[in-house]
A and B are shown apart, each in its own frame.
Chain A
Amino acid sequence: MSTVYETFQAAQQQIAAFSDQVARVPEENPADLPELSRAIQEYASTFAQNYSEAHLSHENSELSEALETTRDAVIESLGNIYSYIESFLAHSTQIPGANMGPLAASISAELTSADRELRMALEGLAKRGEG
Chain B
Amino acid sequence: MTTDLPGSKPAAWPESYGAEAKPRVGFFTDTTLCIGCKACEVACKEWNLVPEDGFVWTGHSYDNTGALSANSWRHVAFIEQQKPLRVDRDTLGVGGEDPAGLRWLMSSDVCKHCTHAACLDVCPTGALFRTEFGTVVVQQDVCNGCGYCVPACPFGVIDRRMIEDAPGDGAAQKCTLCYDRTKGGLEPACAKACPTNSIQFGELGDLRAHARQRLATVQASGFADAQLYGADPTDGVGGFGAFFLLLDDPEVYGLPPDPVVTTRDLPAIWGSALAAAGALAITIGLAFAKQRR
- Tell me if chain B binds chain A: no
